[in-house]
Structure 1
Amino acid sequence: MRLVCLSDTHNFHHDVIIPEGDILIHAGDCTDGGTRNETENFLRWFSSQPHKFKILVPGNHDFYFEKPKLLEKVPSNINLLINEGLVIDGINFWGSPVTPGMENWAFNKERGSQIKQFWDLIPLETDILITHTPPQGILDEISSGLKLGCEELEQTLKVVKPKLHFFGHIHHAAGSTKRLNTKFFNLSILDERHRIMHSPLILDL
């Protein structure tokens, strides 16, 4: 099974070359302003991709996915994961869009107990975790050196130990690393100046 994974396209999805595969995963910030037009444009494009399965986890720019009425308009061939799971060929996926913060961004939750309640929902049997935010200290460093990942998510990962963890959010930290038995991937396509700097990840299971 081939996974094709990307994140943080911010309306540049039409300019990204998407490889062939079985499952197409987008880990958030598919839009920039989160408007209806941006969202519908992305959904048409994402829905038209030939991959058998398509998984979308929104990000902090994707405001329109907070509107319940929009969820009824998501094409049926897109699996939108907002704090929920999906099983494909015996592989357990879980997706969450929440990001730490107290500003007026989409899916923002205050650090501490407020955001922890969402990480507590992640099942222990999760094989592939898709979040928009990185965990604290893992591919979460911005150009100034500040680490913006989620401490509560990092603590949760000591209990829930997925084989793969996909995320984005921090453009500067795109790349991969491995800690214990989990492989981590920051899938950001754009750099901090919103230039396309990376290609989608191709991963064969």
Structure 2
Amino acid sequence: MRLALISDTHMKHAALTVPACEVLIHAGDFSRRGTREELEGFLAWFASQSAPTKLFIAGNHDFVCEREPALARRLAREAGVHYLQEEEVHVGGLRIWGSPVTPWYRGMAFNRDRGETLRAHWERIPAGLDVLVTHGPPLGLGDRTFLKSSVGCAELLARIREVPPRVHVFGHIHEARGEYSLPGVPTRFLNVSTCRLLPVGLRAPVLLELEPASEREASVRPTA
């Protein structure tokens, strides 16, 4: 099964070419200011993509999804796409779970305090996932800013060590796009940020071939 992975498009999605895929995943920050109009514009584009299954989570810019969750769910449902907020969806035998939460920073959307608050939150991540989608990175993996600070979530990393998914997809830190690994943890970590740090140009979606674990001892092959 071919997955196309994007994140942090910040209303530049119209300039993005999504290649043929079975599943299109957006890992949050589709908007700039988090308005309803931006959500509606994003969903119109997202729904028009050819992938049979499309799913997204919100990010720290996407205030409308936090302030009006029922509206976000209704608009997503009407557009025929999946919106995940602390929940799981099964797609072609793959178990995918998504969350928009990130550590507190300037009071953005879905911010939570580090420590016990985030630890309790990440306890919701179930074992046995094929794909974990969060907006932000775990500590030390795809989380290094241009100021050379690692700003990922230690509590998220701890939970992944306990219940490692096959793949962890995230964005948030534009300048840290890439694939990462952690010794002793079988998870493949993919920062798929689409926008660059500077407001020029977009990166192509990351493509992933991933089959249900029950069907093979398969490899996971990022191709872009």
The TM-score by the shorter chain falls in which range? over 0.9
Contact kept? 1:83, 1:118, Cα under 8 Å: no
Q: CA deviation at 1:76?
A: 4.8
The CA deviation string for residues 62-92 of structure 1, in whole angstroms up to 9 with x for no partner, is 0111113412222352110000001112211
CA distance in 2, matches of 1:2, 1:190: 22
1:204 corresponds in structure 2 to 209
Q: Which runs of 5+ in 1 are unaligned?
A: none
Q: Which runs of 5+ in 2 are unaligned?
A: 211-224
> SS state of the match for residue 195, structure 2?
coil
Is 1:170 the counterpart of 2:173? The answer is: yes
Q: CA deviation at 1:125?
A: 1.4
Is 1:194 the counterpart of 2:199? The answer is: yes
The CA deviation string for residues 38-65 of structure 1, in whole angstroms up to 9 with x for no partner, is 1110011101111110010110000111
Contact kept? 2:16, 2:202, Cα under 8 Å: no
CA distance in 1, matches of 2:138, 2:112: 14
**Number of aligned pairs?**
205
1:9 corresponds in structure 2 to 9
How does 1:27-106 map onto structure 2 within 5 Å? 27-66=27-66, 67-70=68-71, 71-74=73-76, 75-106=78-109
> SS state of the match for residue 166, structure 1?
strand
Contact kept? 2:5, 2:206, Cα under 8 Å: yes
Return the letter of the residue paired with 2:82: N
Alpha-carbon distance change, 196 to 160 in structure 1, aligned in 2, over 3 angstroms: farther
Aligned equivalent of 1:151, options 154, 157, 179? 154
Percentage of identical aligned residues? 40
Q: CA deviation at 1:178?
A: 2.3
> SS state of the match for residue 50, structure 2?
coil
Alpha-carbon distance change, 89 to 69 in structure 1, aligned in 2, over 3 angstroms: closer
Q: CA deviation at 1:202?
A: 0.8
- Cα RMSD between the aligned structures? 1.2
Return the letter of the residue paired with 2:205: P
Q: CA deviation at 1:7?
A: 0.3
Moved over 2 A (4+): 194-197
Compare the two structures and name the one with the higher helix fraction: 2
The CA deviation string for residues 117-153 of structure 1, in whole angstroms up to 9 with x for no partner, is 2210011111110000000000100001001100100
Instruction: Using the TM superposition, name which of 81-90 and 23-32 deviates more.
Output: 81-90
CA distance in 2, matches of 1:135, 1:53: 26
CA distance in 1, matches of 2:69, 2:125: 22
Q: TM-score under structure 2 normalisation?
A: 0.88
